[in-house]
Amino acid sequence: MIALDDVTLTYPGRTGPVTALAGTTMHVAKGEFAAVVGPSGCGKSTLMKLVTGLIRPTAGSVSVEGQKVTGPVKVAGMAFQHANMLPWRTVLQNVMLPLEIVEPYRRRFSREKGAFRDKAMALLNVVGLGAFADRFPWEMSGGMQQRASLCRALIHEPRLLMLDEPFAALDAFTREELWGVLRDLWQKLGFTVILVTHDLREAGFLADTIHVMSARPGRIVETRRVPFPRPRA
Ligand code: ADP
Ligand code: ADP
């Protein structure tokens, strides 16, 4: 599904070139849940940007679904540390946003709005937010907003979900609740995941495979399969 082969990424940098990734290799199979862990500055965000096609490697190759990445990757959904909900839209309207932007949904949006609404409601129900669809984001807790942001990342049925520290801003109890929510979604919907996290327990709880990065230069130094594979729906 995803292959980084011997990838080097050097930023121009203001005071001279900065090599964020140096000859790193990572493979993620279709349907796999992969976690990437490592210290701040080791190149985790850079790796995410390479996979989603926001930047191009200086050397080596990046491919998604067998296709060399040359521009923004359309099959990916994304969520970040902050939910970034639009405050003037309800939760439901926030979740439906990608359907107004991403083809082929965009073209069908005005005609099929009712069906899309049902689709968004179904997803909100899976994460336990069915009763909160018409609330505004600022009326909800951080954990609830992060549940909604997972729905928004998945509403257009991406085959790849990219998560950059999605639970880092949450308290420990809420964070563990959200692990369950994410695992349910993954088991139900069967997408491939790359999760960037500082939390080794989180990686161990959620992922099939853990890629450990080192800094200076940024590189994957170890890849471990988690010993007890979880059942899939
Ligand atoms: P992480 O996400 O693991 O914290 P990043 O991928 O953000 O790491 O950064 C990796 C390294 O590359 C760091 O040393 C960072 O300062 C550097 N870096 C990131 N983006 C840029 C950029 N646009 N220009 C110059 N250096 C950068
Ligand atoms: P994180 O550790 O969460 O990735 P950072 O503070 O390292 O956050 O980086 C935030 C953003 O700034 C990232 O998009 C990264 O690529 C960019 N960045 C990081 N370091 C530099 C740098 N030295 N020059 C320019 N941009 C940078």
Q: What percent of the chain has pLDDT over 90?
A: 92
pLDDT band at 206 (very low <50, low <70, confident <90, very high): very high
pLDDT at 197 over 70: yes
Task: List ligand 1's pocket residues with C-beta within 6 A.
Answer: 11, 13, 18, 20, 40-46, 218
In which order are the strands placed within the sheet that holds 209-214?
Answer: 76-79, 160-164, 192-197, 33-37, 209-214, 219-225
Give the residue, out of 9, 44, 46, with the most ligand 1 atoms within 8 A of its beta carbon, to mutate for a pocket test: 46
State if residue 110 touches ligand 2 by the CB under 6 angstroms criterion: no
Q: What is the mean pLDDT of residues 189-217?
A: 94
**Mean pLDDT, all residues of the chain:** 94
Pairing of strands 2-11, 18-28: antiparallel
Q: Could you say which ligand is closest to the alpha carbon of residue 80?
A: 2
pLDDT at 233 over 50: no
Which pLDDT belongs to residue 216?
85
Instruction: Report which protein residue has its CA nearest ligand 1's atom 6.
Output: 43
* Ligand 2 center–CA 170 separation, angstroms: 21
pLDDT band at 74 (very low <50, low <70, confident <90, very high): confident
Q: Could you say which ligand is closest to the alpha carbon of residue 48?
A: 1
Angle, nearest 10°, between helix axes 113-126 and 142-154? 130
Distance CA 45, CA 145 (A): 22
Tokens linked to 228: 């007890």
Q: What is the mean pLDDT of residues 197-208?
A: 94
State if residue 40 touches ligand 2 by the CB under 6 angstroms criterion: yes
pLDDT at 123 over 50: yes
Distance CA 60, CA 174 (A): 39
Give the residue, out of 10, 18, 162, with the most ligand 1 atoms within 8 A of its beta carbon, to mutate for a pocket test: 18
Instruction: Report which protein residue has its CA nearest ligand 2's atom 2.
Output: 40
Chain centroid offset of residue 151 CA: 11
User: What pTM was computed for the model?
Assistant: 0.87
pLDDT band at 231 (very low <50, low <70, confident <90, very high): low
Which pLDDT belongs to residue 219?
94
pLDDT in tens, 126-182: 999 999 999 999 999 999 999 999 999 999 999 999 999 999 999 999 999 999 999
Which pLDDT belongs to residue 226?
85
pLDDT at 52 over 80: yes
pLDDT band at 217 (very low <50, low <70, confident <90, very high): confident
Instruction: Report which protein residue has its CA nearest ligand 2's atom 5.
Output: 41
